[in-house]
Amino acid sequence: MKKLTTALVVLFLATVTFAADEWHIETVDSDDDVGWHNSLALDDNDYPHIAYLNYGINDYLKYARWDGNTWHIETVDDSTSLVGYFPSLALDSSGYPHISYHDRIINLKYASWNGSSWQIEIADLAGPGIYFPEKTSLALDSFDRPHISYYDGYNHDLKYARWDGDEWIYSTVDGGVYEYVGAGSSISLDSSNNPHISYQDFGSEDLKYAYWDDPVWRVETVDSTGQTGYCSSLALDSFGYPHIAYLYYLPGFNLRYASWDGDSWHIETVDSEGDVGLNISLTLDSSDYPHISYGDWTNNSLKYAFWTGDSWYIETVDSPAYGMTSIELDSFGCPHISYYSSGSGYLKYAYREDMPGVEDVVLSAGVHNEGVLVGWAITGDAPVSFRVLRSVGEGEPLRVSGALPGSAVRWLDIDIEAGIEYRYWLEVTEADGTVSRFGPTEAVSVPEPAHELALSAYPNPASVSFTVDYTLPVDGRVTISLYDLSGRRIATVFDGEMTAGRHDIFYNASALPPGVYLAHLDTDSGSLTQRLVIAR
């Protein structure tokens, strides 16, 4: 919760403090070597549900759910000694789980909970031979019917299966015999229940994207700049545009991100510190900003990155962690991540109760030299930037500063007029893109300056011209004259009425012979004389 304290001071000194780590981490399952290939979904209460592989003496599919007080863990499928690979979990409109996964023979399997028991079936039967299973990806349509993308290890194609209410309907999305197309696929459905799939073409080592445009699949290459596209994760934004996080490798492993704006793909590297980007999971927030969980092999850790609207925010969540990970955002926009802990061999779960951000602000404004010094102190995590706003009297606040860095603690307003009351606000842009406004301060005004009679001329010595600079304490008549050393008036520089304050007058002295002169100021408040040298 964000709070504001205001104060009126003359000179402000502030420090920045940072909130403690807000990640809550717990072990979900520690029975055997568990948590491989985990997939996370949140229900309407923001409670986590996780499908995962028990990778032990016998491999089988497990499922864990949180009821608000405790974890409930059960075995879904142990029908063979090798089953439960690469599960993908989705919850239907009743909060019931549906899971797609492989057995070791790479049959595509599908399990669904009907409220009292698990219903398990083979969704697609593998061809002859034994092949290493690949990632499956499941999405439920508006009728709670499953749609699954998966790699056909017999034909080496990207396949798609959907349940129409009576039977499974299959289609080949991309590929051909021995083309090895479809590795690491990820599926999402648009508002018309049409599938969109990201995947790697292993033959060309490109990231590809396919979508159903009835009656055909449209296929395009997104990134062909090198060995790229594996471990992809796809999400559709509020416009139905695709966003894809994926692995780019050689040299090293990097996390990349591609987004479609309606006209073209935009591709960028999110993280290249060490070997990163394995086992990626992507989701979008309410602003269509990406949030990504992924593995860091160099440091054996779980990392989290999200786009703030200006830049990528990246942090380490836990270590050691193999990086098999799945991410979702709750109804408050906070991240929840399931992952495999390589240090313990356990399934773990991490979540934040709040996003990084400013928790408390102390804002102040006071007269300082010839301006108003606006200062602030924060508690919580440092924001991306600050902006200072100012209002005149009770008027609407307007921005008066540019973007100040998140490390800034003060700003001096010199564009002010004496005798006018100003109030100040602070606009904070936080790491998640949230913009908050704090203020106003109490009213502050710069007093009218107390002027004293003053006179100077520069440059001195002068060559062909000089400027007379003078200050009047009150309004009145002013005469400025130039005399030689014998007391003879040479010229009148100025003669007229002037207001109180500082003024200057330019004078062309090119007609004067070199020598020493006296500039004389005569006013109602007194007189002053300044010695002036003309030299050539």
Q: Mean pLDDT throughout 438-445? A: 91
Q: Which domain holds residue 491?
A: 454-534
pLDDT at site 176: 58
Using the predicted structure, report yes or no on whether residue 407 has a pLDDT greater than 50. yes
Same domain, 55 and 12: no
| 188 half-sphere exposure, CB direction, 13 A CA radius | 21
37 and 118 fall within a common domain: yes
CA dist 505 and 488 (Å) reads 21
Contacts 24+ apart (CB under 8 A), 509-513: 509/462, 509/464, 509/465, 509/466, 509/534, 510/464, 510/465
Strand partners, 264: none
Q: Angle at Cα 220 formed by Cα 214 and Cα 223, nearest 5°?
A: 150
DSSP one-letter string for 135-193? --EEEE-TTS-EEEEEEETTTTEEEEEEE-SSSEEEEEEEE-TT--EEEEEEEEE-TTS
> Can you tell me the distance from the alpha carbon of 449 to that of 499, in angstroms, rounded to the nearest whole number?
13
Q: Kindly state whether residue 150 falls inside one of the protein's structural domains.
A: no
| pLDDT score of 281 more than 60 | yes
CA distances from 513 to 481, 505, 520 (A): 17, 20, 19
Beta bridge partners of 271: 255
CA distances from 288 to 237, 243, 247, 433 (A): 6, 9, 21, 11
Q: What is the mean pLDDT of residues 288-313?
A: 92
CATH number for the domain that contains residue 90: 2.40.128
Range of lowest pLDDT (14-23, 45-54, 87-96, 510-519): 14-23
Mean pLDDT of 281-294: 95
Do 404 and 377 lie in one domain? The reply is yes
Cβ distance 315 to 355 under 8 Å?
no
What pLDDT sits at residue 101?
95
On whether both 419 and 485 belong to a single domain, the answer is no
Counting the structural domains of the chain, the total is 3
Q: State residue 222's pLDDT score.
A: 97
CB distance 36 to 324 below 8 Å: yes
Calculate mean pLDDT across residues 476-488: 93
The reported pLDDT for the residue numbered 356 is 60
Residues 383 and 413 in one domain: yes
Token duo for residue 83: 């089953």
How confident is the model at residue 7, as a pLDDT?
A: 36
Task: Give the mean pLDDT of 1-18.
Answer: 32
Which CATH number do you get for residue 459?
2.60.40.2550
Mark which of 74, 97, 128 sits at the end of a domain.
128
At 339-364, the pLDDT tens digits run 999 878 899 999 998 766 677 788 99
Mean pLDDT, rounded, for 459-485: 91
- pLDDT-derived band at 9 (thresholds 50, 70, 90) equals very low
The predicted pLDDT at position 316 comes to: 93
Report the b/e string of 268-294 with b at 16+ CB within 10 A: eebbeeebbbbbbbbbbbeeebbbbbb
Q: Which residue has the higher pLDDT, 155 or 119?
A: 119
Residues 40 and 112 placed together within one structural domain of the fold: yes
Q: Is the pLDDT score of 8 beyond 90?
A: no
Same domain? 43 vs 97: yes
Domain co-membership, 38 together with 63: yes
Same domain for 414 and 479, yes or no, is: no
Lowest mean pLDDT of 235-239, 409-413, 428-432, name the range: 428-432
Region of poorest pLDDT, from 42-51, 163-172, 381-390: 381-390
Q: Could you tell me the two tokens for 16?
A: 């920045």
DSSP-derived letter for residue 449 is P
- Same structural domain, 431 and 493: no
**Minimum mean pLDDT range among 73-77, 138-142, 196-200, 352-356:** 352-356
Read off the amino acid at residue 345.
G
Are 522 and 482 part of one and the same domain?
yes
Name the residue among 453, 245, 347, 306 with its Cα closest to residue 34.
Answer: 347
Measured torsion, CA atoms of residues 403, 404, 407, 409, in degrees rounded to the nearest 10: -140
Question: Is there a domain that residue 114 lies in?
Answer: yes
Among residues 78, 99, 128, the one where a domain terminates is 128
Q: Which of 517, 489, 521, 490 is nearest to 505 (CA)?
A: 521
Q: Is residue 314 part of a domain?
A: no
Is residue 225 included in any domain, yes or no?
A: no
515-523: strand order across its sheet:
489-498, 476-484, 515-523, 526-534
pLDDT of residue 72: 97
The pLDDT mean for the chain works out to 88
d(CA 208, CA 221): 4
Percentage, residues of the chain above pLDDT 90? 63
| pLDDT given at position 128 | 55
Q: 467 burial class (0-12, 13-18, 19+ CB within 10 angstroms)?
A: middle
CA distances in angstroms from 137 to 101, 140, 373, listed in the order given? 8, 11, 56
Domain presence at residue 459: yes
Does the pLDDT at position 408 exceed 50?
yes
Q: Say which residue the tokens 């590929």 belong to.
A: 175
Over its C-alpha atoms, the chain yields an Rg (Å, rounded) of: 36
* 363 is a domain residue: yes
Q: Binning pLDDT at 50, 70 and 90, where does residue 17 land?
A: very low
Confidence of residue 130 (pLDDT cuts 50, 70, 90): very low
Least confident of 121-125, 126-130, 154-158: 126-130
> Given a cut of 60, is residue 319 above it in pLDDT?
yes
Instruction: Copy the structure tokens of residue 232.
Output: 């992809």
360-379 tens-digit pLDDT? 788 999 988 768 999 998 87
User: 530 lies in a domain?
Assistant: yes
CATH of the domain at 426: 2.60.40.10
201 in Cβ contact with 187 (< 8 Å): no
Residue 176 lies in a domain: no
pLDDT on residue 180: 65
Q: Give first-to-last CA distance, the chain, whole Å.
A: 71
Task: Say yes or no: 430 and 492 in one domain.
Answer: no
